[in-house]
Chains A and B, each alone.
Chain A
Amino acid sequence: MNKKSSVLAAPFALWILIFTVVPLALVVYFAFWGDNGFTLDFIKSIGEGEYAKSLGTSIWLGAIATVICLLLGYPVAYIISRAKGISQRTMVMLIMLPQWMNFLLRTYALMSLLENNGLINTWLRDIGLDPINIINTRAAVVLGMVYDFLPFMVLPIYSVMTKIDHRVTEAAQDLGANGFVVFRRVILPLSVPGIISGITMVFVPAVSSFIISRLLGGGKEMLIGDVIEMLFIQVEGGRNVGAALSLVLMVLMLICMTLMNHFDDSEDSGGMIA
């Protein structure tokens, strides 16, 4: 394990070059080069009409879903990190387990629950209550995002919270802080890196999600992911604008990454998923 072994990084570097760098360069290329050479038309077209609208809707719904995930997920992470031994382990497992089920089927199952003649409404009618009308609304899309991505919020916050030294909280208590003050002045600030990484891990997939809006929103409103899919798969010659839209998502990702790097200086950031 000396300097000589660093040669072994070369094949990996080549792989990254071909399958990560070149493809992203191609996205940039198609976003700016049309049939008649360099043009800004594709980028400009994003700012207008339907594209701008669905981009705005995606960011708005993604942001709401992220906030709800944070509000719901933070207490979950806190409670789990406070639990002991077996019950902590079990709860972490229960949070992770749904991820192993295909997300399309999970979303589809959620749809069958929420439908106007779905299970929830059938039950509501059976006990004599008014059925709820949620399917094919924006609320259903946000609910779907929260349902699919909540674990991405809980796990990073949880893993940061378990690393908080007990002696720090004890010291705060010894110095006279009550439960609330300990939480606000010690635990909350120390869990910020987890919050940031959780926000990134929910916001990025939520904004770029496709299918969720089609299944739960009834396809009335296309989110940016659906638009990109449509432009690349269904529309002949749509790939230039599609590439331009992908570029916007890439920039969004870059902003998130910079934010994360700013807050997370540790080298062992390998515990994102497991």
Chain B
Amino acid sequence: MRKIFSKLYMAIIFIFLYAPIVVMMVFSFNDSKSRVKWDGFSLRWYESLFEDDEIFAALTLSLEVAVIAAICATLIGLVAAIGLFGLNKRLKNVMMILNSVPMINPEIVTGVSLMLLFVALCNLLGFLEMGFTTLVLAHITFCVPYVVLNILPKLRQMNPHLYEAAQDLGCPPVKAFCKVVLPEIMPGVFTGMMMAFTLSLDDFIISYFVGGETQTLPVLIYSMTKKHVKPNMFALTSLFFAVILVLLLIVNIRQMRDENKKRAF
């Protein structure tokens, strides 16, 4: 009885969470512009997607920003995490609080505060303009905290004597780091980087305030929601969704297999 109730409850919650998404995906195959009436199956929105220069330009920009921001944020975050790990407790606590500010601050506040900074900087430095550079800087800023938080626990879990042992055996510090520490914390670095990439790709609010005239994909979607969102945008999102679903399934199946292997030993 209780089992049935909890299954029913979960089903209702999942229907609530997925109904809009499923409807959107179904209507991306609709043969007309309507979001209500089904006019037959067609792939026309998927075809028009590949001819839409506006969407293509926005997507390219979003991907460029996300790749650069994710790589920079990972490098800064990695160095930062190692530094924080060696820091004394009080300074470390202060830094960790500051680190969490961009995560907990309302996004709109981060957005307008960075906008104020960049406007001031642009007035100060003639060569800087609101656009690609400010977008990348802003995205790095809100991505770094997640990278740091993913790497720090891995450093803490590591056996510190391994690094010392490598050095005792004559390994120079940098090499010892690359050979001993890096492989240990790699899962954290990787998760951090993936998180930074997806956060950057999906960000709308902050990009909206610091992007100037440039349009990332979410900003383009926003300008479309003011009038009418073209169904080919639904097509694009459905494609994204399918890719993410497959990726998540692969990751999960791999994790499960690893766990089963561990259990077998």
Asked whether any CB of chain B lies closer than 8 Å to the CB of A204, the reply is yes
A105 at the interface (CB under 8 A from B): yes
Task: Kindly state whether residue A104 has any CB partner on chain B within 8 Å.
Answer: yes
CA A91 – CA B6 in complex, angstroms? 13
Give every chain A residue within 8 A of B104 (Cβ-Cβ): 200, 204, 253, 256-257, 260
**CB interface residues, A 1-46, toward B, < 8 Å:** 1-13, 15-16, 18-24, 26-27, 30
Mask: chain A, 218-257; 1 = CB below 8 Å from B; 0 = not: 0000000100110011000001001100100110110011
Q: Is B71 an interface residue (CB 8 A)?
A: no
- Contact A9 B98, beta carbon cutoff 8 Å: no
Task: Give the docked Cα–Cα distance between A113 and B138 (Å).
Answer: 34
Neighbouring A residues of B179 by C-beta, 8 Å: none
B87 at the interface (CB under 8 A from A): yes
A110 CA / B225 CA spacing, docked (Å) = 12
The reply to whether the CB of A159 lies closer than 8 angstroms to some CB of chain B is no
CA distance A98 to B24 in the complex (A): 13
Binds A, one of B42-50, B122-130, B236-244: B236-244
Is there an interface contact between A273 and B195, defined as CB atoms closer than 8 Å?
yes
B41 within 8 Å of A (CB atoms): no
Contact partner, B83, options A8, A19, A98, A109, Cβ 8 Å: A8
Q: Is the interface of B mostly helix, strand, loop or mixed?
A: helix
Q: Is the CB of B36 within 8 A of A89?
A: no
* Given A93-B252, A270-B153, residue A210 in contact with residue B108 (CB < 8 A): yes
B234 / chain A contacts, CB cutoff of 8 Å = 105, 109
| Contact status A104-B20, CB under 8 Å | no
Asked if residues A210 and B205 are in contact (CB atoms below 8 Å), the reply is yes
How many chain B residues touch A (CB < 8 A): the figure is: 90
How long is the Cα–Cα vector from A150 to B10 in the complex, in angstroms?
A: 13
In the assembled complex, the Cα of A23 lies from the Cα of B206 at a distance in Å of 13
Please tell me if B112 contacts chain A, counting CB pairs below 8 Å: yes
Closest partner residue, chain B, to A26 (CB atom): B116
Q: Which of A96-138 contact B (CB under 8 A)?
A: 97-98, 100-106, 108-110, 112-113, 115, 117-119, 122
* Binary CB contact string for chain B from 69 to 96 against chain A (1 if under 8 A, 0 otherwise): 0000000110110111111100100010
Chain A: residues with Cβ within 8 Å of the partner, total of: 87
Q: Is B109 a contact of A109 with CB atoms below 8 Å?
A: no
A246–B17 touching, CB < 8 Å:
no
B57 within 8 A of A: no
Contact indicator A5/B86 (Cβ below 8 Å): yes
Task: Tell me, rounded to whole Å, the shortest Cβ–Cβ distance linking A14 to chain B.
Answer: 10
Q: Are A105 and B80 in contact (CB under 8 A)?
A: no
By a CB distance below 8 angstroms, the chain A residues around B84 are: 6, 9, 12
A8-B83, A118-B36, A268-B153 known; A208+B108 contact, CB < 8 A: yes
Across-interface contacts of B17 in A (CB, < 8 A): 94-95, 98, 147, 150-151
CB distance A104 to B21 under 8 Å? no
A to B contact number (C-beta, < 8 Å): 236
A204 contact set on B, CB distance < 8 A? 104, 106
Cα(A9)–Cα(B87), bound, Å:
8
Residue A215 interfacial (CB < 8 Å) = yes
Stretch at the interface among A72-80, A162-170, A186-194: A72-80
Check: A139 CB closer than 8 A to any chain B CB.
Answer: no
**B214 interfacial contact with A, CB 8 Å:** no
**Contact residues in A for B18 (Cβ distance below 8 Å):** 94, 98
Q: In the complex, are the beta carbons of A86 and B256 less than 8 A apart?
A: yes
Which residues of B does A touch, CB under 8 Å? 6, 9-10, 13-14, 16-21, 23-24, 35-37, 76-77, 79-80, 82-88, 91, 95, 97-110, 112-117, 120, 137-138, 140-141, 144, 146, 148-150, 152-153, 155-156, 160, 163, 181, 191, 195, 198, 202, 204-205, 208-209, 217-218, 221-222, 225, 229, 233-234, 237, 240-241, 244-245, 248, 252, 256
15 new A-B contacts, CB < 8 A, other than A208-B106, A243-B112, are A7-B83, A8-B82, A8-B83, A23-B113, A26-B120, A79-B10, A91-B10, A94-B18, A100-B198, A102-B218, A105-B24, A109-B21, A147-B20, A210-B108, A270-B150
Residues in chain A within 8 A of chain B (CB atoms):
1-13, 15-16, 18-24, 26-27, 30, 72, 75-76, 79, 86, 89, 91, 93-95, 97-98, 100-106, 108-110, 112-113, 115, 117-119, 122, 147, 150-151, 200, 204-205, 207-208, 210-211, 215, 225, 228-229, 232-233, 239, 242-243, 246, 249-250, 252-253, 256-257, 260, 267-268, 270, 272-274
Which 6 A/B pairs are nearest by Cβ-Cβ distance? Answer: A9-B83, A8-B83, A12-B80, A208-B106, A23-B113, A109-B20
Q: List 17 A-B contacts (CB under 8 A).
A: A1-B82, A6-B86, A6-B87, A12-B80, A12-B84, A15-B80, A22-B117, A100-B198, A102-B218, A104-B204, A109-B21, A113-B23, A119-B36, A122-B37, A207-B106, A253-B104, A274-B195
